[in-house]
Amino acid sequence: EVQLVQSGAEVKKPGESLKISCKGSGYSFTSYWITWVRQMPGKGLEWMGNIDPSDSYKNYSPSFQGHVTISTDKSITTAYLQWTSLKTSDTAMYYCARHLVAVPTAPDYWGQGTLVTVSS
Amino acid sequence: EIVLTQSPGTLSLSPGERVTLSCRASQSFTSNFLAWFQQKPGLPPRLLIYGASRRATDIPDRFSGSGSGTDFTLTISRLEPEDFAVYYCHQYGISPLTFGGGTKVEIK
């Protein structure tokens, strides 16, 4: 069974760092991009970027480039999304999802989401 | 960046009605790398349609997608109670990938 399991909810203060995770199982981890999507409270979906776990090649949305870092550890089939200095505007639900590397495909399996709350 | 504009923002409908949702792209797609997702409160998005018109696994045939170029449509032939949700279109062919702003289908 394909699963993407994300780390638990986080409460942080502005300026703090954070790394959340997304563990894939039940499929060939290096055959699928991991994509990260932000959903701010009551708002729509925003594509942040993705990573090819086979070689760590990444794409970022211009809206998120420089503010977050996407990484992966294929030895433990886990992808990460990290911030070095959180802002209150980073408060959101963050989802990971997978899609094929070989050809463009839509994300078919999603993680359950990680809620990040940034508040002083 | 390809901007996807969904309309209308909200639809108020009754079970059994037919619904048509629109997604317009700011530039034409060379391939129909356009998907539709359904999202219910507290849950991740669920893939309904990919390749503009192909139903994902286990998606009922009352859901259908169509369109090409810059204009795409999701049709639900007959609304079931479980279909009341927010629907998003998504282009996955050109980086940066983008989502539309969503259409909420609510019970009238």
Chain B: closest CA distance from residue A97 (Å): 10
- Residues of chain A neighbouring B35 (CB-CB closer than 8 A): 106-107
Taken in order A35, A39, A40, A41, the sign of the CA dihedral is negative
- Residues of chain B neighbouring A105 (CB-CB closer than 8 A): 50, 92
Q: How confident is the model at residue B71 (pLDDT cuts 50, 70, 90)?
A: very high
How confident is the model at residue A100, as a pLDDT? 87
Q: What is the pLDDT of residues A99-119, one digit of tens each?
A: 988 788 999 999 999 999 999
How confident is the model at residue A101, as a pLDDT? 83
Cα angle B28-B31-B32, degrees, rounded to a multiple of 5: 85
Work out the burial of residue A15: count CB atoms within 10 Å of its CB; fewer than 13 is exposed, 13-18 middle, 19 or more buried. Answer: exposed
- Integer Cα distance of A32 and A51 in angstroms: 9
Whether residues A104 and B92 touch (CB distance < 8 A) is answered with yes
Nearest by Cα to A49 from A58, B81, A57, B6: A58
How confident is the model at residue A102, as a pLDDT? 79
What are the average pLDDT values for consecutive 10-residue runs of chain A, which has 120 residues? 98 98 97 97 97 95 96 97 98 96 90 98
- Residues of chain A neighbouring B74 (CB-CB closer than 8 A): none
How confident is the model at residue A103, as a pLDDT? 84
How confident is the model at residue B27, as a pLDDT? 92
How confident is the model at residue B30, as a pLDDT? 67
Q: What is the pLDDT of residues B11-70, one digit of tens each?
A: 999 999 999 999 999 998 767 899 999 999 999 999 999 999 999 999 999 999 999 999
How confident is the model at residue B32, as a pLDDT? 85
Q: Is 90 exceeded by the pLDDT of residue B2?
A: yes
